[in-house]
Amino acid sequence: MMFPHGFEGQGPEHSSARLERFLQLCAEHNMQICNPTTPAQIFHLLRRQAIRPMRRPLVIMSPKWILRHKLATSSLEDLSEGEFNNVIDDASVDPALAKRVILCSGKVYYHLLEERDSRGITDIAIIRLEQLYPFPDTELDAILDSYNNLQSAVWCQEEPMNQGAWYSSQHHMRSAFNRIDPKLYLTYAGRPGSAAPASGYMSVHLDEQKKFIDEALTFNN
C-alpha cells in the first residue's frame, strides 16, 4: 500500500497518511512501514518485496513533493546495483567531526539538508530512517558506531508531536544512542501536538516548519 503523506500546508486530507496509526498496529513483525526518500530506494524496496521469501504487508509513505525535488534523484548505477537501505548515513559529514546527529524520516530530510548546507554547518550529520518497522536496530547501531564525538542527538519530524513516528519509535532510538554513549539524551524537534494533521494556513505551516528546522540545526557547544 502506498499512501500520500504530504504535510505541505494544505488541508488535513492532503497532509497525512496517519503514519502513527500504522505504527501502533505493528507487533511481532506483522508488517513493514517504510518512508523512502530516493527513486533508487523505492525501486529496491518494491523489488525486495517481490523477491523476498518473507511475505508481509508493506506500507509506504510516499510524499508527492519528493517527486519534484531537485535533490531527490538517483543515478542509473543506484538503480541497477545495490539494495534497499533501511538506514542511510550522511556521506557529506566526517563522523569524527560530527557533534550532533539528527535522525529523521521522509521528506523533512531535504528541508534539513538544504538549510544545513545554506548555513555552512559541517558538524551536524543527518541520518535517515527509511524503514520504521521493523525498526532497523542493527543497521542504526552500525552507523552510529562511527560517531565517536557526539554531544547531542535529535529526532526531527514534520508531523505534530502526537503524530508521526515519535511516540512509537523513540524508545528504539533512545536505546541506540544509549548503547554508544549513556550520556546522550535524544531530544525532539518538530511541531507541537495538534488535534488536526494540518494547520490549513500556509503561513502558519511555514512558520512552524522554520521554527523546528532551526531548533534541530541550532547547536551550542
Inform me whether the pLDDT recorded for 13 exceeds 70: no
User: What are the tens digits of pLDDT across the range 47-104?
Assistant: 999 999 988 999 999 888 888 889 999 999 999 999 999 999 999 999 999 999 999 9
Of 13-17, 30-34, 81-85, the one with minimum mean pLDDT is: 13-17
What distance in Å separates the CA atoms of residue 132 and residue 117, rounded to the nearest whole number? Answer: 26
The domain 2-217: what is its CATH number? 3.40.50.11610
Give the burial class of 182: count Cβ atoms within 10 A of its Cβ; 0-12 exposed, 13-18 middle, 19 or more buried. Answer: exposed
What distance in Å separates the CA atoms of residue 109 and residue 89, rounded to the nearest whole number? Answer: 12
Query: Residue 203: which residues within 8 A CB-CB, separation 6 or more?
Result: none
- How, if at all, do strands 87-88 and 131-133 pair? unpaired
Q: What is the DSSP string of 32-100?
A: EEE---SHHHHHHHHHHHHH-S----EEEE--GGGGG-TT----HHHHHS----SEE--TTS-TTT--E
Q: Three-state SS for 3?
A: strand
User: What are the tens digits of pLDDT across the range 194-204?
Assistant: 998 888 888 99
**In the chain, what are the domain boundaries?**
2-217
pLDDT for position 17: 92
- How, if at all, do strands 124-129 and 152-160 pair? unpaired
pTM (2 d.p.): 0.95
Asked if 3 contacts 17 with a C-beta cutoff of 8 angstroms, the reply is yes
